Structure 1
Amino acid sequence: MRDTHEEAELLGLVRRYVKPGRRYLKLGGSLLRLDEPEYDQFARCLAEDAELITAHELLTLLEGGWRERRTAAWLIAVSRRTEFRERLGELLLASEVCCTGLAYCVALASFGTPDDADHLCAYLDRYLRRPDLDYDQLIAMGALLFIDLNLGDDKAARFLAPDGLWHEWLQASPGRQHASTYVTYLSLVRRLCAFVEECADLRPTG
Protein backbone atom coordinates (compact mmCIF):
# COMPACT_ATOMS: atom_id res chain seq x y z
CA MET A 1 0.00 0.00 0.00
CA ARG A 2 1.38 3.39 -0.95
CA ASP A 3 1.59 6.14 1.65
CA THR A 4 -0.11 9.39 0.67
CA HIS A 5 2.23 11.41 2.86
CA GLU A 6 5.37 10.00 1.27
CA GLU A 7 4.51 10.13 -2.42
CA ALA A 8 3.95 13.39 -4.25
CA GLU A 9 2.05 11.77 -7.14
CA LEU A 10 -0.46 10.07 -4.87
CA LEU A 11 -0.84 13.14 -2.69
CA GLY A 12 -1.64 15.23 -5.74
CA LEU A 13 -4.31 12.79 -6.87
CA VAL A 14 -5.85 12.73 -3.40
CA ARG A 15 -6.08 16.52 -3.39
CA ARG A 16 -7.57 16.52 -6.89
CA TYR A 17 -10.06 13.65 -6.76
CA VAL A 18 -10.53 12.35 -3.22
CA LYS A 19 -10.69 15.20 -0.73
CA PRO A 20 -12.66 18.02 -2.43
CA GLY A 21 -15.91 18.41 -0.56
CA ARG A 22 -14.92 15.34 1.49
CA ARG A 23 -16.04 13.30 -1.48
CA TYR A 24 -14.65 10.06 -0.10
CA LEU A 25 -17.06 10.20 2.83
CA LYS A 26 -20.13 10.68 0.65
CA LEU A 27 -19.42 7.84 -1.78
CA GLY A 28 -21.80 5.27 -0.38
CA GLY A 29 -25.26 5.14 1.10
CA SER A 30 -24.91 8.65 2.49
CA LEU A 31 -25.01 10.17 -1.01
CA LEU A 32 -28.63 9.04 -1.24
CA ARG A 33 -29.45 11.36 1.67
CA LEU A 34 -28.01 14.51 0.13
CA ASP A 35 -30.39 17.41 -0.48
CA GLU A 36 -31.26 17.95 -4.14
CA PRO A 37 -28.96 20.92 -4.91
CA GLU A 38 -25.97 19.21 -3.25
CA TYR A 39 -26.87 15.86 -4.81
CA ASP A 40 -26.98 17.36 -8.31
CA GLN A 41 -23.68 19.17 -7.87
CA PHE A 42 -22.05 16.08 -6.39
CA ALA A 43 -23.19 13.96 -9.35
CA ARG A 44 -21.97 16.51 -11.91
CA CYS A 45 -18.54 16.84 -10.31
CA LEU A 46 -18.14 13.08 -10.03
CA ALA A 47 -19.11 12.67 -13.69
CA GLU A 48 -16.62 15.33 -14.78
CA ASP A 49 -13.79 13.78 -12.80
CA ALA A 50 -14.63 10.30 -14.06
CA GLU A 51 -14.13 11.63 -17.56
CA LEU A 52 -10.88 13.43 -16.76
CA ILE A 53 -9.00 10.91 -14.67
CA THR A 54 -6.58 8.66 -16.54
CA ALA A 55 -6.16 4.91 -16.26
CA HIS A 56 -2.72 5.41 -14.71
CA GLU A 57 -4.17 7.76 -12.11
CA LEU A 58 -6.89 5.26 -11.25
CA LEU A 59 -4.32 2.50 -10.80
CA THR A 60 -2.31 4.79 -8.55
CA LEU A 61 -5.34 5.54 -6.37
CA LEU A 62 -6.09 1.81 -6.13
CA GLU A 63 -2.67 1.38 -4.53
CA GLY A 64 -3.47 3.86 -1.76
CA GLY A 65 -5.52 3.58 1.41
CA TRP A 66 -9.25 3.15 1.82
CA ARG A 67 -10.14 6.72 0.84
CA GLU A 68 -8.22 6.50 -2.40
CA ARG A 69 -9.48 3.03 -3.29
CA ARG A 70 -13.09 3.86 -2.53
CA THR A 71 -12.96 6.98 -4.71
CA ALA A 72 -11.20 5.18 -7.54
CA ALA A 73 -13.81 2.40 -7.61
CA TRP A 74 -16.64 4.91 -7.98
CA LEU A 75 -14.81 6.81 -10.70
CA ILE A 76 -14.24 3.50 -12.50
CA ALA A 77 -17.94 2.66 -12.25
CA VAL A 78 -19.11 6.05 -13.52
CA SER A 79 -16.64 6.03 -16.41
CA ARG A 80 -17.62 2.43 -17.20
CA ARG A 81 -14.02 1.29 -17.41
CA THR A 82 -14.66 -2.43 -17.43
CA GLU A 83 -10.96 -3.08 -18.01
CA PHE A 84 -10.59 -2.64 -14.24
CA ARG A 85 -12.97 -5.53 -13.53
CA GLU A 86 -10.22 -8.01 -12.65
CA ARG A 87 -8.41 -5.55 -10.41
CA LEU A 88 -11.58 -4.67 -8.51
CA GLY A 89 -12.34 -8.36 -8.09
CA GLU A 90 -8.85 -8.97 -6.74
CA LEU A 91 -9.11 -6.10 -4.27
CA LEU A 92 -12.54 -7.23 -3.09
CA LEU A 93 -11.31 -10.78 -2.54
CA ALA A 94 -8.17 -9.64 -0.72
CA SER A 95 -10.11 -7.27 1.59
CA GLU A 96 -6.88 -5.60 2.66
CA VAL A 97 -8.44 -2.40 3.95
CA CYS A 98 -11.77 -1.44 5.46
CA CYS A 99 -14.49 0.79 4.02
CA THR A 100 -13.95 -0.18 0.38
CA GLY A 101 -16.04 -3.30 -0.20
CA LEU A 102 -19.25 -1.48 -0.98
CA ALA A 103 -17.51 0.56 -3.67
CA TYR A 104 -16.06 -2.54 -5.32
CA CYS A 105 -19.41 -4.34 -5.19
CA VAL A 106 -21.31 -1.40 -6.67
CA ALA A 107 -18.77 -1.05 -9.48
CA LEU A 108 -19.05 -4.76 -10.34
CA ALA A 109 -22.84 -4.63 -10.10
CA SER A 110 -22.93 -1.60 -12.39
CA PHE A 111 -20.90 -3.50 -15.02
CA GLY A 112 -23.40 -6.32 -14.56
CA THR A 113 -21.93 -9.17 -16.59
CA PRO A 114 -21.49 -12.87 -15.71
CA ASP A 115 -17.79 -12.16 -15.15
CA ASP A 116 -18.69 -9.56 -12.52
CA ALA A 117 -21.05 -12.03 -10.86
CA ASP A 118 -18.21 -14.56 -10.76
CA HIS A 119 -16.04 -12.14 -8.78
CA LEU A 120 -18.85 -11.66 -6.27
CA CYS A 121 -19.33 -15.44 -6.04
CA ALA A 122 -15.62 -15.90 -5.35
CA TYR A 123 -15.87 -13.37 -2.53
CA LEU A 124 -18.92 -15.02 -1.01
CA ASP A 125 -17.37 -18.47 -1.34
CA ARG A 126 -14.41 -17.28 0.73
CA TYR A 127 -15.98 -15.02 3.32
CA LEU A 128 -19.26 -16.80 4.04
CA ARG A 129 -16.98 -19.58 5.28
CA ARG A 130 -15.60 -17.16 7.85
CA PRO A 131 -18.29 -16.82 10.53
CA ASP A 132 -15.81 -14.82 12.61
CA LEU A 133 -15.74 -12.00 10.06
CA ASP A 134 -18.29 -9.29 9.34
CA TYR A 135 -16.84 -7.83 6.18
CA ASP A 136 -18.89 -7.08 3.07
CA GLN A 137 -20.87 -10.30 2.77
CA LEU A 138 -24.21 -8.48 2.92
CA ILE A 139 -23.54 -5.93 0.19
CA ALA A 140 -21.82 -8.57 -1.96
CA MET A 141 -24.98 -10.68 -1.82
CA GLY A 142 -27.08 -7.65 -2.76
CA ALA A 143 -24.78 -6.98 -5.72
CA LEU A 144 -24.89 -10.59 -6.88
CA LEU A 145 -28.69 -10.65 -6.70
CA PHE A 146 -28.83 -7.39 -8.64
CA ILE A 147 -26.82 -8.93 -11.48
CA ASP A 148 -28.84 -12.15 -11.33
CA LEU A 149 -32.10 -10.26 -11.70
CA ASN A 150 -30.82 -8.21 -14.62
CA LEU A 151 -29.38 -11.21 -16.45
CA GLY A 152 -32.09 -13.69 -15.57
CA ASP A 153 -29.42 -15.80 -13.91
CA ASP A 154 -29.41 -17.60 -10.56
CA LYS A 155 -25.83 -17.70 -9.31
CA ALA A 156 -26.92 -16.68 -5.82
CA ALA A 157 -29.16 -19.73 -5.44
CA ARG A 158 -26.51 -22.08 -4.07
CA PHE A 159 -25.65 -19.60 -1.32
CA LEU A 160 -29.28 -18.96 -0.40
CA ALA A 161 -30.37 -22.61 -0.28
CA PRO A 162 -31.61 -23.72 3.17
CA ASP A 163 -28.33 -25.58 3.76
CA GLY A 164 -26.23 -22.95 1.96
CA LEU A 165 -23.35 -20.82 3.18
CA TRP A 166 -25.52 -17.72 3.56
CA HIS A 167 -27.67 -19.19 6.30
CA GLU A 168 -24.69 -20.77 8.02
CA TRP A 169 -22.95 -17.40 8.14
CA LEU A 170 -26.04 -15.62 9.46
CA GLN A 171 -26.68 -18.20 12.15
CA ALA A 172 -23.10 -18.01 13.41
CA SER A 173 -23.81 -14.66 15.08
CA PRO A 174 -27.11 -13.62 16.71
CA GLY A 175 -26.51 -10.00 15.74
CA ARG A 176 -26.65 -10.87 12.05
CA GLN A 177 -30.27 -11.94 12.29
CA HIS A 178 -31.24 -8.26 12.19
CA ALA A 179 -29.54 -8.00 8.79
CA SER A 180 -30.72 -11.36 7.47
CA THR A 181 -32.95 -10.02 4.74
CA TYR A 182 -30.91 -9.62 1.56
CA VAL A 183 -33.74 -7.56 0.05
CA THR A 184 -32.47 -4.53 1.97
CA TYR A 185 -29.05 -4.81 0.37
CA LEU A 186 -30.44 -5.56 -3.07
CA SER A 187 -32.44 -2.34 -2.78
CA LEU A 188 -29.36 -0.39 -1.73
CA VAL A 189 -27.31 -1.73 -4.64
CA ARG A 190 -30.13 -0.92 -7.04
CA ARG A 191 -30.28 2.69 -5.83
CA LEU A 192 -26.51 3.14 -5.92
CA CYS A 193 -26.27 1.66 -9.41
CA ALA A 194 -29.01 4.04 -10.52
CA PHE A 195 -26.84 6.87 -9.22
CA VAL A 196 -23.88 5.49 -11.19
CA GLU A 197 -25.99 5.48 -14.35
CA GLU A 198 -27.18 9.00 -13.67
CA CYS A 199 -23.59 10.19 -13.33
CA ALA A 200 -22.51 8.27 -16.42
CA ASP A 201 -25.18 10.07 -18.43
CA LEU A 202 -23.81 13.40 -17.18
CA ARG A 203 -20.28 12.75 -18.44
CA PRO A 204 -19.22 15.50 -20.87
CA THR A 205 -18.58 13.08 -23.72
CA GLY A 206 -21.33 10.64 -22.75
Structure 2
Amino acid sequence: MRDVATDPELMDLARRFVAPGRRYLKLGGSALRLSGAERELFVRELVQAAAEITPAELGILLEGGWRERKTASWLIAVARRTGFRSRIGELLLASDGPYGGSYCTTLASFGTGEDADLICAYLDRYLPRPDLVHDRTFALGTLLHLDAVLGTERASPYLAPGGLWQRWTDARPDTAWDPHESRQIVDQVCSFAHECAELFARTATTD
Protein backbone atom coordinates (compact mmCIF):
# COMPACT_ATOMS: atom_id res chain seq x y z
CA MET A 1 0.00 0.00 0.00
CA ARG A 2 1.23 3.49 -0.83
CA ASP A 3 1.28 6.07 1.96
CA VAL A 4 -0.26 9.42 1.06
CA ALA A 5 1.94 11.13 3.65
CA THR A 6 5.19 10.06 1.99
CA ASP A 7 4.22 9.51 -1.67
CA PRO A 8 4.17 12.81 -3.62
CA GLU A 9 2.28 11.32 -6.58
CA LEU A 10 -0.45 9.88 -4.38
CA MET A 11 -0.53 13.04 -2.29
CA ASP A 12 -1.22 15.15 -5.39
CA LEU A 13 -4.02 12.86 -6.54
CA ALA A 14 -5.57 12.87 -3.06
CA ARG A 15 -5.45 16.65 -3.02
CA ARG A 16 -7.20 16.82 -6.40
CA PHE A 17 -9.78 14.07 -6.09
CA VAL A 18 -10.18 12.90 -2.49
CA ALA A 19 -9.84 15.93 -0.24
CA PRO A 20 -12.01 18.62 -1.94
CA GLY A 21 -14.97 19.27 0.34
CA ARG A 22 -13.90 16.16 2.31
CA ARG A 23 -15.46 14.18 -0.53
CA TYR A 24 -14.41 10.83 0.88
CA LEU A 25 -16.68 11.35 3.91
CA LYS A 26 -19.76 12.15 1.82
CA LEU A 27 -19.60 9.11 -0.45
CA GLY A 28 -21.86 6.15 0.27
CA GLY A 29 -24.72 6.39 2.73
CA SER A 30 -23.72 9.92 3.76
CA ALA A 31 -24.60 11.13 0.25
CA LEU A 32 -28.23 10.20 0.93
CA ARG A 33 -28.41 12.89 3.59
CA LEU A 34 -27.45 15.67 1.17
CA SER A 35 -30.20 17.85 -0.23
CA GLY A 36 -30.87 20.97 -2.22
CA ALA A 37 -27.98 23.05 -3.50
CA GLU A 38 -25.43 21.10 -1.47
CA ARG A 39 -26.46 17.84 -3.13
CA GLU A 40 -26.52 19.38 -6.60
CA LEU A 41 -23.01 20.79 -6.16
CA PHE A 42 -21.68 17.52 -4.75
CA VAL A 43 -23.06 15.51 -7.67
CA ARG A 44 -21.74 17.96 -10.24
CA GLU A 45 -18.26 18.01 -8.74
CA LEU A 46 -18.19 14.22 -8.37
CA VAL A 47 -19.13 13.78 -12.02
CA GLN A 48 -16.49 16.31 -13.06
CA ALA A 49 -13.85 14.46 -11.04
CA ALA A 50 -14.86 11.15 -12.64
CA ALA A 51 -14.41 12.74 -16.06
CA GLU A 52 -11.04 14.30 -15.26
CA ILE A 53 -9.27 11.38 -13.62
CA THR A 54 -7.40 8.93 -15.88
CA PRO A 55 -7.37 5.14 -15.55
CA ALA A 56 -3.71 5.29 -14.52
CA GLU A 57 -4.54 7.79 -11.78
CA LEU A 58 -7.40 5.62 -10.56
CA GLY A 59 -4.99 2.71 -10.34
CA ILE A 60 -2.69 4.79 -8.14
CA LEU A 61 -5.55 5.82 -5.83
CA LEU A 62 -6.50 2.16 -5.45
CA GLU A 63 -3.00 1.56 -4.06
CA GLY A 64 -3.53 4.14 -1.31
CA GLY A 65 -5.31 4.06 2.03
CA TRP A 66 -9.02 3.67 2.66
CA ARG A 67 -9.85 7.29 1.77
CA GLU A 68 -8.14 7.03 -1.61
CA ARG A 69 -9.56 3.59 -2.39
CA LYS A 70 -13.09 4.56 -1.35
CA THR A 71 -13.03 7.65 -3.54
CA ALA A 72 -11.53 5.79 -6.49
CA SER A 73 -14.17 3.07 -6.31
CA TRP A 74 -16.90 5.70 -6.49
CA LEU A 75 -15.26 7.52 -9.40
CA ILE A 76 -15.08 4.15 -11.16
CA ALA A 77 -18.78 3.57 -10.53
CA VAL A 78 -19.79 7.03 -11.78
CA ALA A 79 -17.79 6.63 -15.00
CA ARG A 80 -18.86 2.98 -15.35
CA ARG A 81 -15.27 1.89 -15.82
CA THR A 82 -16.05 -1.82 -15.80
CA GLY A 83 -12.45 -2.60 -16.74
CA PHE A 84 -11.70 -2.16 -13.03
CA ARG A 85 -14.16 -4.90 -12.02
CA SER A 86 -11.48 -7.50 -11.30
CA ARG A 87 -9.38 -5.05 -9.30
CA ILE A 88 -12.39 -3.99 -7.23
CA GLY A 89 -13.18 -7.65 -6.64
CA GLU A 90 -9.60 -8.27 -5.50
CA LEU A 91 -9.75 -5.38 -3.05
CA LEU A 92 -13.10 -6.57 -1.69
CA LEU A 93 -11.85 -10.10 -1.25
CA ALA A 94 -8.69 -8.89 0.49
CA SER A 95 -10.65 -6.59 2.79
CA ASP A 96 -11.07 -7.39 6.44
CA GLY A 97 -11.68 -3.75 7.40
CA PRO A 98 -14.78 -1.57 7.60
CA TYR A 99 -14.63 0.01 4.15
CA GLY A 100 -15.64 -2.80 1.80
CA GLY A 101 -19.07 -1.22 1.31
CA SER A 102 -17.70 1.11 -1.38
CA TYR A 103 -16.45 -1.88 -3.38
CA CYS A 104 -19.84 -3.54 -3.01
CA THR A 105 -21.51 -0.36 -4.25
CA THR A 106 -19.29 -0.22 -7.32
CA LEU A 107 -20.02 -3.84 -8.20
CA ALA A 108 -23.74 -3.32 -7.58
CA SER A 109 -23.71 -0.31 -9.90
CA PHE A 110 -22.21 -2.46 -12.68
CA GLY A 111 -25.05 -4.90 -12.08
CA THR A 112 -24.00 -8.08 -13.87
CA GLY A 113 -23.64 -11.75 -13.01
CA GLU A 114 -19.87 -11.28 -12.84
CA ASP A 115 -20.37 -8.74 -10.08
CA ALA A 116 -22.64 -11.14 -8.19
CA ASP A 117 -19.90 -13.78 -8.51
CA LEU A 118 -17.44 -11.46 -6.76
CA ILE A 119 -19.89 -10.71 -3.95
CA CYS A 120 -20.49 -14.44 -3.49
CA ALA A 121 -16.74 -15.07 -3.34
CA TYR A 122 -16.50 -12.48 -0.56
CA LEU A 123 -19.38 -14.01 1.40
CA ASP A 124 -17.99 -17.52 0.95
CA ARG A 125 -14.67 -16.41 2.39
CA TYR A 126 -15.81 -14.22 5.27
CA LEU A 127 -19.17 -15.52 6.52
CA PRO A 128 -17.39 -18.58 7.99
CA ARG A 129 -15.19 -16.10 9.93
CA PRO A 130 -17.19 -14.81 12.93
CA ASP A 131 -13.99 -13.23 14.26
CA LEU A 132 -14.26 -10.67 11.43
CA VAL A 133 -17.37 -8.51 11.48
CA HIS A 134 -17.13 -5.79 8.84
CA ASP A 135 -19.42 -5.44 5.81
CA ARG A 136 -21.04 -8.90 5.87
CA THR A 137 -24.56 -7.52 6.07
CA PHE A 138 -23.91 -4.87 3.43
CA ALA A 139 -22.43 -7.49 1.09
CA LEU A 140 -25.46 -9.75 1.50
CA GLY A 141 -27.74 -6.75 0.96
CA THR A 142 -25.78 -6.04 -2.22
CA LEU A 143 -26.36 -9.60 -3.40
CA LEU A 144 -30.09 -9.22 -2.71
CA HIS A 145 -30.02 -6.00 -4.75
CA LEU A 146 -28.30 -7.78 -7.64
CA ASP A 147 -30.80 -10.64 -7.43
CA ALA A 148 -33.60 -8.11 -7.89
CA VAL A 149 -31.82 -6.51 -10.85
CA LEU A 150 -30.88 -9.79 -12.53
CA GLY A 151 -33.92 -11.90 -11.64
CA THR A 152 -31.73 -14.43 -9.79
CA GLU A 153 -31.73 -15.99 -6.33
CA ARG A 154 -28.03 -16.08 -5.52
CA ALA A 155 -28.66 -14.90 -1.95
CA SER A 156 -31.11 -17.70 -1.12
CA PRO A 157 -28.56 -20.36 -0.10
CA TYR A 158 -26.91 -17.94 2.32
CA LEU A 159 -30.25 -17.05 3.94
CA ALA A 160 -31.60 -20.62 4.11
CA PRO A 161 -32.05 -22.17 7.57
CA GLY A 162 -28.68 -23.47 8.69
CA GLY A 163 -26.94 -21.55 5.92
CA LEU A 164 -23.83 -19.41 6.23
CA TRP A 165 -25.79 -16.33 7.28
CA GLN A 166 -27.54 -18.08 10.17
CA ARG A 167 -24.27 -19.61 11.33
CA TRP A 168 -22.55 -16.24 11.24
CA THR A 169 -25.38 -14.43 13.06
CA ASP A 170 -25.57 -17.20 15.65
CA ALA A 171 -21.90 -16.57 16.36
CA ARG A 172 -22.19 -12.75 16.23
CA PRO A 173 -25.73 -11.79 17.31
CA ASP A 174 -24.45 -8.42 18.53
CA THR A 175 -23.30 -7.32 15.06
CA ALA A 176 -25.97 -8.78 12.77
CA TRP A 177 -28.38 -6.49 10.91
CA ASP A 178 -31.29 -7.50 8.75
CA PRO A 179 -29.86 -8.04 5.24
CA HIS A 180 -33.18 -7.03 3.70
CA GLU A 181 -32.93 -3.67 5.43
CA SER A 182 -29.35 -3.45 4.19
CA ARG A 183 -30.61 -4.14 0.69
CA GLN A 184 -32.86 -1.07 0.95
CA ILE A 185 -29.80 1.04 1.74
CA VAL A 186 -27.93 -0.52 -1.17
CA ASP A 187 -30.90 0.28 -3.43
CA GLN A 188 -30.76 3.94 -2.39
CA VAL A 189 -26.99 4.24 -2.68
CA CYS A 190 -27.06 2.60 -6.11
CA SER A 191 -29.83 4.94 -7.19
CA PHE A 192 -27.58 7.85 -6.26
CA ALA A 193 -24.65 6.27 -8.13
CA HIS A 194 -26.83 5.72 -11.21
CA GLU A 195 -27.99 9.33 -11.10
CA CYS A 196 -24.35 10.43 -11.14
CA ALA A 197 -23.50 7.95 -13.90
CA GLU A 198 -26.36 9.19 -16.07
CA LEU A 199 -25.20 12.79 -15.65
CA PHE A 200 -21.66 11.66 -16.48
CA ALA A 201 -22.90 9.99 -19.67
CA ARG A 202 -24.89 13.05 -20.72
CA THR A 203 -21.95 15.34 -20.03
CA ALA A 204 -19.58 13.11 -21.99
CA THR A 205 -21.98 13.09 -24.95
CA THR A 206 -22.22 16.87 -25.11
CA ASP A 207 -18.48 17.56 -24.68
TM over 0.5: yes
Q: TM-score range by the shorter chain?
A: over 0.9
Measured after TM superposition, the shift of residue 176 of structure 1 is 3.0
Measured after TM superposition, the shift of residue 17 of structure 1 is 0.2
Question: C-alpha separation between the residues in 1 aligned to 2:105 and 2:28?
Answer: 9
In structure 1, the gaps of 5 or more residues are: none
Whether 2:182 is the aligned partner of 1:200: answer no
Post-superposition, which runs of at least 4 consecutive aligned residues in structure 1 deviate over 6 A?
A: none
Measured after TM superposition, the shift of residue 35 of structure 1 is 2.6
Question: C-alpha separation between the residues in 2 aligned to 1:164 and 1:103?
Answer: 26
Question: C-alpha separation between the residues in 2 aligned to 1:62 and 1:50?
Answer: 14
Matches within 5 A, 1:76-95: 76-95=76-95
- TM-score, reference length from structure 1: 0.95
Please list the CA deviations of residues 131-170 of structure 1 after superposition, one character each: whole Å capped at 9, or x if unmatched: 1111111110011111111111111111111010001101
Contact 2:98 2:135 in 1 (8 A): no
Measured after TM superposition, the shift of residue 40 of structure 1 is 1.0
Contact 2:62 2:72 in 1 (8 A): yes
Which residue matches 2:6? 6
Q: CA RMSD in A?
A: 1.1
Matches within 5 A, 1:116-131: 116-131=115-130
Aligned residues: 203
Question: C-alpha separation between the residues in 2 aligned to 1:176 and 1:12?
Answer: 38
Please list the CA deviations of residues 103-130 of structure 1 after superposition, one character each: whole Å capped at 9, or x if unmatched: 1000000001010000000000011000
Letter paired with 1:145: L
Contact 1:69 1:100 in 2 (8 A): no
Contact 1:66 1:99 in 2 (8 A): no
In structure 2, the gaps of 5 or more residues are: none
Question: C-alpha separation between the residues in 2 aligned to 1:184 and 1:156?
Answer: 14
The sequence identity of aligned pairs, in percent, is: 54
Question: C-alpha separation between the residues in 2 aligned to 1:20 and 1:58?
Answer: 16
